[in-house]
């Protein structure tokens, strides 16, 4: 059944009063990446209910990793079957696209999630609590911070193993997000991955008030942006009479057929389109952390447990940019001349805003948060290129960036003092003298963030700027390079601080992590260097994946 037939079924249903509703056709094989993760998440909830407390951690960790690996295998299998290129397809009655960008981004999200799960499962950093090894998450999140019940939970050595199913739910939502091919699926996917993230943000073991504050802020502002998004969807539906991407694109192009008479009057009202489009755009820009919708980022990144921050900063960004790409390239390409100038403005203030405000940050997590805002600007520069090169460069950048980010936040978890992680920059002074290896690894990440050649950051930045410049956005690239120069200042400043300052006597210690975090950090460095030194294979891969299905 082709896409248009599906749409005509939907859109003419009301008019023709079709008596029989045909059973929806679900291509289980093509949806298997999502289904595997969702299934594992549900199973994870059951494990929480039925497996004894002692065995939960290992069972959950094992299940999560197996599910993510299986899902990744399914993505690879689909790509190998040609779903990324020649056989791209819209599955599940027009709801989910199975094409190159979707598969590439799903693969990236899954790999990043595997690494993130490693950091979630780390139990070697916090000092043992009453003889039990504990992770970064609260003993009993429901207890009031500082209360007796919290103390009791800590004494009993409770741990929150629910983080694994929560993360899996979030991953499932993220997998759907860049593949969503109608606005409702988009919205549902957004909520599916946002709600677990709100919860995860609130689960920090240390500095619980800060963590809860972050979660509440994230939830409030997330709901606020969801409301905009939903209203935008409603307006777009009013414009096109459909929530399907293909249908809306056809109405925009004026090539639409089979218009039902009931909708003909309201259809094609440009005001609805422009306002609705802008609102949906805003919802997605909120998730990627673009200025002026970025203000939640520093607070949430700082308050959330650091492994969750890494996971959010990497996987959420990948998913949100995927959805943004699909929206701009599939639904609104006909409106290019309307959204491009506006997006220019957003890109410029995002790049400059993130880079400039980062200069005066004193907390390493907040610094990385602003850095992620600046990077969102760089990626957006590739997004608005509007060319095939633009798509592939963004895909590559996202893959490169996500591993650097998770690795960098993983390093942040290692540097600790009596109060937990020592995130104030002044405490990082002289780290290179005390722990040269950790400092060197962090320096590699910072250089990658700064876009120094031979790191993945350079390859990615070069690709997006090249795509942007070739699409006629030369001025934007100039601003981008200036922003990069400003950003380089604060990255290099941290390196200088680590290697050329005297260590403080009461400075933090570097905890020796278990193989889990070590793997996460090592994978990050490896990917950073491989994508920096020999990026061609992966650029080609992203290039092949750079065509959307319509």
* Interface positions with other proteins (CB under 8 A): 216-217, 220-221, 224-225, 228, 270-271, 274-275, 277-279, 281-282, 286, 291-293, 295-296, 298-299, 337-339, 341-342, 345-346, 353, 356-361, 486, 489
Q: Which is nearer to other proteins, 18 or 220 (CB)?
A: 220
Q: Which of 143, 145, 161 is nearest to 206 (CA)?
A: 145
H/E segment holding residue 411: helix 388-414
Kindly state the smallest distance separating residue 318's Cβ from other proteins, in Å. 22
Q: Which is nearer to other proteins, 286 or 321 (CB)?
A: 286
Q: Which is nearer to other proteins, 136 or 372 (CB)?
A: 372
Q: Which is nearer to other proteins, 10 or 344 (CB)?
A: 344
Q: Which is nearer to other proteins, 127 or 341 (CB)?
A: 341
- Contacts (Cβ under 8 Å, ≥6 apart) of 448: 400, 404, 455, 456, 457, 458, 528, 532
Kindly state the smallest distance separating residue 353's Cβ from other proteins, in Å. 7
Q: Which is nearer to other proteins, 55 or 292 (CB)?
A: 292
Q: Which is nearer to other proteins, 133 or 340 (CB)?
A: 340
CA 269 – CA 248 distance, rounded (Å): 12
Kindly state the smallest distance separating residue 249's Cβ from other proteins, in Å. 17
Kindly state the smallest distance separating residue 362's Cβ from other proteins, in Å. 10
Kindly state the smallest distance separating residue 348's Cβ from other proteins, in Å. 13
Q: Which is nearer to other proteins, 132 or 466 (CB)?
A: 466
- Is residue 94 within 8 Å of 182, Cβ to Cβ? yes
Kindly state the smallest distance separating residue 282's Cβ from other proteins, in Å. 5
Kindly state the smallest distance separating residue 355's Cβ from other proteins, in Å. 9
Q: How far apart are the first and last CA of the chain?
A: 14
Give residue 187's region: left, alpha or beta (phi > 0; psi -120 to 50).
alpha
CA 210 – CA 301 distance, rounded (Å): 11
Cβ burial 44-76 (10 Å sphere, 16+ → b, else e): beebbeebeeeebbebbbebbbebbebbbebbe
H/E segment holding residue 79: helix 53-80
Residue 506 DSSP code: T
Q: Which two tokens stand for residue 386?
A: 């509007």
Q: Which of 451, 229, 483 is nearest to 348 (CA)?
A: 483
Q: Which two tokens stand for residue 2?
A: 């082709």
Task: Tell me how crowded residue 10 is: count the other CB atoms within 10 A of its CB.
Answer: 16
Kindly state the smallest distance separating residue 287's Cβ from other proteins, in Å. 12
């Amino acid at each position: 059944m082709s896409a248009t037939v599906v749409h005509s079924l939907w859109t003419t249903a009301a008019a023709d009063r079709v008596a029989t509703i045909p059973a929806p056709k679900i291509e289980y094989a093509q949806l298997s990446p999502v289904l595997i993760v969702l299934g594992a998440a549900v199973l994870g909830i059951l494990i929480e209910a039925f497996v004894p407390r002692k065995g939960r951690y290992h069972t959950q960790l094992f299940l999560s990793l197996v599910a993510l690996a299986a899902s990744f295998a399914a993505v690879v299998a689909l790509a190998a079957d040609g779903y990324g290129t020649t056989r791209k397809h819209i599955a599940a009655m027009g709801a989910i696209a199975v094409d190159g960008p979707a598969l590439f981004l799903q693969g990236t999200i899954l790999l990043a999630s595997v690494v993130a799960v490693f950091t979630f499962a780390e139990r070697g950093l916090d000092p043992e609590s009453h003889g039990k090894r504990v992770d970064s998450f609260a003993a009993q999140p429901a207890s009031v911070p500082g209360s007796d019940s919290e103390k009791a939970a800590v004494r009993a050595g409770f741990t929150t193993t629910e983080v694994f199913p929560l993360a899996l739910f979030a991953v499932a939502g993220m997998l759907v997000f860049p593949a969503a091919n109608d606005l409702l699926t988009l919205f549902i996917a957004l909520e599916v991955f946002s709600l677990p993230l709100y919860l995860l943000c609130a689960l920090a073991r240390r500095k619980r008030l800060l963590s809860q504050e972050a979660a509440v802020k994230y939830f409030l502002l997330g709901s606020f942006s969801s409301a905009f998004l939903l209203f935008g969807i409603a307006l777009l539906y009013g414009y096109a009479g459909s929530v399907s991407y293909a249908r809306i694109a056809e109405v925009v192009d004026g090539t639409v057929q089979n218009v039902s008479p009931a909708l003909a009057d309201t259809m094609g009202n440009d005001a609805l389109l422009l306002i609705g489009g802008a609102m949906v755009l805003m919802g997605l820009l909120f998730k990627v952390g673009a200025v002026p919708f970025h203000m939640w980022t520093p607070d949430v990144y700082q308050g959330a447990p650091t492994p969750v921050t890494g996971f959010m900063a990497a996987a959420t960004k990948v998913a949100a940019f995927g959805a943004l790409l699909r929206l701009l390239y599939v639904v609104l390409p006909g409106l290019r001349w309307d959204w491009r100038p506006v997006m220019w403005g957003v890109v410029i203030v995002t790049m400059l805003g993130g880079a400039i405000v980062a200069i005066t940050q004193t907390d390493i997590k907040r610094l990385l948060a602003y850095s992620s805002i600046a990077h969102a600007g760089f990626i957006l520069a590739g997004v608005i290129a509007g060319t095939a090169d633009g798509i592939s460069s963004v895909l590559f950048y996202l893959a490169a960036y996500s591993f650097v980010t998770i690795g960098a936040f993983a390093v942040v978890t290692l540097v600790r003092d009596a109060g937990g992680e020592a995130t104030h920059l002044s405490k990082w002074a002289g780290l290179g003298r005390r722990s040269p290896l950790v400092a060197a690894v962090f320096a590699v990440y910072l250089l990658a963030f700064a876009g120094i050649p031979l790191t993945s950051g350079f390859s990615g930045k070069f690709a997006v700027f090249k795509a942007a410049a070739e699409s006629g956005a030369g001025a934007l690239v100039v601003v981008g390079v200036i922003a990069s120069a400003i950003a380089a200042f604060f990255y290099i400043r941290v390196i200088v601080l680590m290697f050329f300052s005297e260590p403080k006597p009461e400075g933090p210690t570097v905890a020796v992590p278990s193989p889990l975090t070590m793997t996460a950090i090592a994978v990050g460095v490896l990917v950073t260097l491989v994508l920096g030194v020999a990026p061609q294979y992966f650029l080609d891969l992203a290039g092949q994946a750079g065509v959307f299905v319509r």
